Chain A
Amino acid sequence: MTGPLQAVGWVVRRDLTLALRRRADVLTSLFFFVIVVSLFPLGVGPEMATLRTMGPGVVWVAALLASMLSLGRLFALDYLDGTLEQMLVAPYPLALLVLGKVGAHWLASGLPLVLIAPFLGLQFGLAASSLKVLMAALLLGTPTLSLLGAIGAALTLGLRGGGVLLALLVLPLYVPVLIFGAGAVESHAAGLGAQGHLSLLAAFLVLAAVFTPWATAVALRISLD
């Protein structure tokens, strides 16, 4: 008999193995992120001051959309092949298994965004110190996006046109993360320091990690009833 924590570790490992074997899925949302961010300098023109002000916001909005794009797959495949049903009848707390799935999802689709963001930030002429703040903010903010998004993904399971509905449900919830995430870089660039913004992002993350898995678990049970 494996303990609940081992079961979570196993869920993470299995989902990462699957992500490695289905690399195309992971790469599409990463390329989507790169392309959306790169379109802005091309569309707005090379005005350095404008780019610098809008840079953090653009990177964040693109990260929101990319994370939305990959959310649809979080539970959908498990739902279709019956694995989700098995997770519901497993002798482990469903919220813990959900946490494992969301963790693996973030490692496969959120972490790459964080790692590539500084290179994209260069297109907007952000200073090296701003890039560091941008990365730190994304590192704290993107897991919150995955956790919040999981609730929407669970609620829209098996619905036709669930993708659009998912966006309508989840994007408003992303607003606070967007405001403080983009705000962190702006306030750093203005010389005010990013400490406050980053602390708030960390607080969001802790709250989301504690509460959203329960909500997601309930939503999954409703979707499968």
Chain B
Amino acid sequence: MAASDTQVPVAGGETTYLEAIRQAMFEEMERDPSVFLIGEDVGVYGGAFKTSAGLIERFGAERVIDTPISEAAIVGAASGAALMGMRPIAEMQFIDFIGCAFNQLTNFAATARYRNGNGCPIVVRGPAGGGVHGGPFHSLNPESFFLNTPGLKIVAPGTAYDAKGLLKAAIRDKDPVIYIEHKFLYRRIKENLPAEDYIVPIGKAAIRREGKDLTIITFGAMIYVAEDAAKELEADGVSVEILDMRSLLPFDEEAMLNSVAKTSRVIILHEATLTGGIGGEFAARIADKAFEYLDAPIKRVASIDTPVPYSPPLEAFFLPNKDKVVAAARELLDY
């Protein structure tokens, strides 16, 4: 383990996705005394993935709170504190268990602004996603469970820069934000980050690759799958645009429509399973608002409709990958 994990983080320079999250929490807790972290093993242990290493040493047990194993209690307590003026960050040790706090999030936190005129400014964050042989309880991508809940915001960064900037934006937001961090990226992604404070605004997508023949709309760890597919297609002279949505609720419809207007062919790629996934919502928006820009059907590439398999070969079969994206792209290009 790198020494920095237990030390006060130094902003700037080469930074992993995981360290970017730790820095964001650290800096926000430094900046605003109402920010605190609450979750299972976030304190003394420093978090299951060490995302909160060093925080309890710096901020004390009153602002880095270890809890019993009860997501409902964690989110419930955080919501109460938020209504009392605090800015809690509630950590789900694995985002899969956010289901236990579903009621607190959808019925309570999400409706707070409507019910009493005050938002419920909590951040519920946790590691999501597969590819690490975590099986059914440790691999989920839960964004679409919450998509149908007005009042919630959802972000899903795919780069270290966005991991830090979006977490800071989420902590400063006046409403509840579900922050989905991809565990596969924790230590695989390393970027040079600016030393100064910055945020990535919620609701803005980013073009990761400019192209003209086909758009892949994606987010999270799938931006790298899209990138690999784009490289393979580029060898055949196909120019692929990759749009990283990064904010899922609200999402950047304008960026999406602009890209479709440019390329006229769309693949929506997400790691959550296909049916009822966020891709359906994206597709519906495109069909509605960019119908006359489409030169081919809207295609979705997603995980297949089963629980996340534990078996490594089955998981590999289950998840979207470069070959699946390339196959979908070729189908669209031949259309």
Partners in one complex: no
Binding site for A on B (CB under 8 A): none
